[in-house]
Chain A
Amino acid sequence: MKKLKDTENILVLGIFLGICGAVAALVLAFFDDITREPIKKMKMQAVNSALEQVLPAFDNSPGDNVFTKNGVTFYGAKKGGKLVGIAASGCTMKGYSGKIVAMVGLDLDGKVRTVAVVDGKKLSAVLITEQKETPGLGTVVCERKQQKTIVNIFEKPDKNASALPGNKILDQFAGRKPGKAPWKVSKDGGDFDYMTGATISSRAVVSVVYGIAQTFAANRQEIVKQLSKAKK
């Protein structure tokens, strides 16, 4: 053992390092193998929980009723065999730190779905499922988060409260239908408010939601037909 520790023989060193690499590779292959299925399941779960939040009540599994068009993935929700709503997931690379992925619930006529009306404010079925924006600036545009305070932390959660906390930027889309002109933030001459200090993130969010809604509006018949057809 002492010999191996102090050896300078380049061949022995090379072989030792090779064995180390091989053992590491075997261990990694083993763990990759046993975790592959559970990881897939976890990812599916994340998609499903997002779908539940943006879609009306359904009794099929929209996660399996999928149709992709122009890079946007559409999920069909059915109740009693009839298509009741569509969720669509698309992404943009225009975020402040690259990729932003959005999940949008759409009514069959192409309007962005309104989930609920709380205190006269509409909550839209728009979720950002993936983003790397600046914490405190870009994330304010993207996240739906209930603000916890020292006062309400001990209170029991209100059961009547909507599952979706509000977000000033994301809720602007409620009930909107894409027209001819692309949606823009007011700084670019559009009519969507943006967050000061997070113009790029706001722009990206508006454009990704527009892209999704526009793709649906342009290919509505085909998408509805495809999603109605599936038995699931």
Chain B
Amino acid sequence: MSMIKEFTKGIWKENPVLVMLLGMCPTLAVTTNAENGLSMGIATTCVLLGCNIVISLIRNIVPKKIRIPVYIVVIASFVTVVKLLMNAYAPPAINKSLGIFIPLIVVNCIVLGRAEAFASKNGPVSSIMDALGMGLGFALALTALGGAREFLATGSLFQVKIIIPWKVDFMLWTGAPGAFIILGCFLAGMNKLNMRKAVKRGEVYIPPQGLDCRHCRLCDIGKQEEEQ
């Protein structure tokens, strides 16, 4: 039961993009269309899965003080291996559309975030479920964002024209401003839905604590120790 919970939390309740606001850089840059969003989601899921497994296996022997550099070594190695394998064996069409996103994953803080927040504290099986759930949530959010932008800009989805007479592209949505506007609308919608749900249950909606940037303590590691 708890395994299923580890899996489903990434899709809605702790969605990495729409709730935790992690990995904003690739999210905003890559989602110009639905296909790119999906590709980035799949690539990230693969890396996330591998890193979560390795880190949950070595979690008991890594000294606390140097865990972050060790995780980064693991992540960077994984990304490079995935890139090499894709260049060598993936069909050219897939390689062409996915290839440019793979190096971006190194700087995607979802991977490091999950390593630090989950895999370093849990066993391999629940880490796999966590990686799959988070990956799926990331992929869904990116595909939805990309789809919305692509549809508003060109009237097509997954490069297939839905509204045929739409001839001139509306470039606002494929550019950076469009990314921010659409993401803002998505976040507002997400909060509204959660709020309504909470009201129905008779509660007050509080965004999950300890998950978003305001509660991230990654940068305060040195400071905390001084205080102690």
Contact = CB atoms under 8 A, between A and B. Distances in A.
Interface of A: 1, 4-8, 12-13, 16-17, 20-21, 24, 27-28, 31-32, 35, 38-39, 42, 45-46, 49, 135-137, 147-151, 153, 197
Interface of B: 32-33, 60-66, 69-70, 73-74, 76-77, 80-81, 84-85, 87-89, 92, 95, 153-154, 156, 159-162, 164, 169, 171, 174
A24 B174 contact: no
Contact of B84 (A20, A32, A197): A32
B164 A150 contact: yes
A45 B96 CA distance: 13
Which 3 A-B pairs give the minimum distances between C-beta atoms? A38-B88, A149-B161, A35-B88
Given A31-B81, A137-B171, A153-B160, A13 B63 contact: yes
Contact of B174 (A4, A13, A20, A135): A135
Given A42-B92, A136-B154, A5 B63 contact: yes
B61 A7 contact: no
Contact of B164 (A13, A42, A49, A151): A151
A28 B64 contact: no
11 contacts: A5-B60, A5-B62, A16-B70, A17-B69, A20-B70, A31-B80, A35-B87, A35-B88, A38-B89, A148-B160, A149-B160
Contacts of B76: 24
A147 B161 contact: yes
A136 B161 contact: no
Nearest to B36: A135
Contacts of B74: 20, 24
A12 B122 CA distance: 25
Contact of A5 (B33, B64, B77, B84): B64
Contact of B87 (A21, A27, A42): A42
Given A39-B88, A149-B164, 5 more contacts: A13-B65, A28-B80, A35-B85, A42-B87, A137-B171
Nearest to A16: B63
A136 B174 contact: yes
Given A16-B66, A136-B174, A27 B81 contact: yes
Max count, chain B CB within 10 A of own CB: residue among A13, A45, A136, A137: A136
Contact of A6 (B64, B87, B169, B174): B64
Nearest to A41: B88
Given A16-B63, A20-B73, A35 B160 contact: no
A110 B70 CA distance: 58
Contacts of A136: 32, 153-154, 169, 171, 174
A24 B54 CA distance: 12
A45 to B, nearest CB: 7
A45 B90 CA distance: 13
A97 B66 CA distance: 39
A7 B63 CA distance: 6
A83 B84 CA distance: 37
B88 A42 contact: yes
A149 B155 CA distance: 10
A195 B92 CA distance: 29
A150 B156 CA distance: 9
Contacts of B89: 35, 38
A30 to B, nearest CB: 9
A46 B160 contact: no
A142 to B, nearest CB: 14
